Amino acid sequence: MRLWSLHPKYLDPQGLVALWRETLLAKAVLCGKTRGYTHHPQLERFKMHPQPRAAINSYLAAIHAEAMHRGYAFDRSKIGPVRTVQPISVNTGQLACEWQHLQSKLTARSPAVLAQWSGVLMPTCHPLFRSQPGPVASWERASSGA
């Protein structure tokens, strides 16, 4: 499971579809509708949010907006109610780590998408997140092939 801190605009088609599916799984975990993945480290920051379900819905809404922008037909009814929620902090070190991880994936899978973003040094974060100075998150497992 990879719940990117990066803005979904940077993802290639395969990455955006995977993010949608993995976030729906994360939502099921947060809603207690599955027994798997309950201790997945990527869920830590959502579980710590004062409104975990509202936060995951907000996260999904931004993915849905990107999908609609691209002309994809993601099912809006799977999101649930979307409210304004407190942003989640993400460290610049985490964003840089994810950016490097995504660039590695795009090198192999979508060179044209990689080229589209070649001038970006520090990417924009997902709309739910607010960047702040700091290191890679303790839950990050990018080096293990996440």
Q: Name the domain count of the chain.
A: 1
Q: In which band, very low, low, confident or very high, does the pLDDT at 144 lie, cut at 50, 70 and 90?
A: very low
C-alpha to C-alpha distance for 57 and 77, rounded to whole angstroms:
11
| pLDDT tens digits, one per residue of 79-131 | 999 999 999 999 999 999 999 999 999 999 999 999 999 999 999 999 999 99
In this structure, what token pair is assigned to residue 43? 């869920």
Q: Is residue 2 included in any domain, yes or no?
A: no
Predicted local confidence at residue 143, as pLDDT:
55
Give the CA angle between residues 52, 132, 135 to the nearest 5°: 95
Q: Is residue 1 included in any domain, yes or no?
A: no
pTM of the predicted model, to two decimals? 0.92
Helix (H, G, I), strand (E, B) or coil at 130: strand
146, pLDDT greater than 50: no
Mean pLDDT score across all residues of the chain: 93
C-alpha to C-alpha distance for 130 and 5, rounded to whole angstroms:
9
Q: Is residue 144 included in any domain, yes or no?
A: no
